[in-house]
Amino acid sequence: MRVAATVDTRSALRLTGAVLRQFDYAVARALNLTATDFQAAERQRIEARFTLRRRDFVLRTVKIERAGFARRGKLYADVGIDPRRDILAKFEPGGLKRARGGGALAVPQEVRRSQTEVIPKGRRPRAFHFRVHRTQRGAVQLKGEKRTFILEQGFLRGGIFQRVGRGRRSTVRLLYLFTRAVPIAPDLRFVETARKVCQTRFTSNFQRAFVEALRGAR
């Protein structure tokens, strides 16, 4: 037995049209959710891999500008390292850090009182105001304020030193070590983290956004 029936598809078509009109919204919403997931993941990696001396300042360099969020007509999101605070980008490719002009880098040693301390201006090399000094033996030496001096020869070669204590108890400590280059490890892994987050989070974020779109289309 066959039965012929007539159905009104207009409401279904209206709903379908409404959903299609919301599709761009769902994609943009999913992209923005994924972008913020990546931002959080990269910040967590930075905290785990780096010694942060200005934690909030450094973490805020992983940034999504207002114009970087996805929207209708712009179905992509931009997450980047703030170029005005570009202290992390060099850790993506890694390599060597060299002194400008072919000189030497002054690498902090005992001048830093803790691993997380930001060295104040008063304890940076220029603050010692080194000047040429001739010792009693006639040797030429660079001598600075706060009992500092530079040694470039001998077994304590290449650094800024400081005398501490008095008399027989006095000693010398190394504030900065001179070196031609410092290796930079590729520890940022910005691109790698972005790809991993996109692969694992976008689908679920789109499902969430699409459900929101369906609710808004009713």
Q: Report the mean per-residue pLDDT for the chain.
A: 86
Q: What pLDDT, in 10s, does the model give residues 123-140?
A: 999 999 999 988 777 777
Residue 25: name the closest of 196, 171, 162, 210 by CA.
210
pLDDT computed for residue 8 by the predictor? 59
Whether the CB-CB separation of 72 and 163 falls below 8 Å is answered with no
pLDDT computed for residue 172 by the predictor? 92
The residue among 83 and 58 whose pLDDT is bigger is: 58
Band (100; pLDDT cuts 50, 70, 90)? confident
Half-sphere exposure of 67 (CA within 13 A, CB side): 0
SS (H, E, C) the chain: CCCCCCCCCHHHHHHHHHHHHHHHHHHHHHHHHHHHHHHHHHHHHHHHHCCCCCHHHHHCCEECCHHHCCECCECCCCCEECHHHCCCHHHCCCEEEECHHHCCEEEECCCCCCCCCCCCHHHCHHHHCCEEEECCCCCEEEEECCCEEEECCCCCCCEEEEEECCHHHCEEEEEEEEECEEEECCCCCHHHHHHHHHHHHHHHHHHHHHHHHHHHHC
Query: pTM here?
Result: 0.76
pLDDT computed for residue 6 by the predictor? 58
**Lowest-pLDDT choice from 32-46, 148-162, 189-203:** 148-162
The residue among 217 and 64 whose pLDDT is bigger is: 64
pLDDT computed for residue 215 by the predictor? 77
Band (149; pLDDT cuts 50, 70, 90)? very high
pLDDT computed for residue 1 by the predictor? 59
pLDDT computed for residue 155 by the predictor? 45
